[in-house]
Amino acid sequence: MSLLDPKLKPSPIWEFDAEVVILHHSTTIKRGYQAVVHCGVIRQAVSIEGMSAELLRTNDKGFIRFKFLYHPEYIKGESTI
Domain definitions of the chain by residue range: 21-74
DSSP symbol at 7: G
pLDDT bucket at 80, cuts 50 / 70 / 90: low
Give the per-residue pLDDT at 77: 72
C-alpha span between 15 and 19 (Å, rounded): 14
**What are 28-64's pLDDT values in tens digits?**
999 999 999 998 889 999 999 999 999 999 999 999 9
pLDDT of 79: 61
Q: Which SS3 state, helix, strand or coil, does residue 27 take?
A: coil
Relative to beta strand 15-21, strand 42-51 is unpaired
Give me the chain's average pLDDT, please.
90
Q: What is the pLDDT of residue 81?
A: 57
Q: Taking the model in full, what pTM does it have?
A: 0.85
φ and ψ at residue 57, rounded to 5 degrees: -130, 180
Task: With CA atoms as reference, report the closest residue to 35 among 53, 52, 54, 56.
Answer: 56
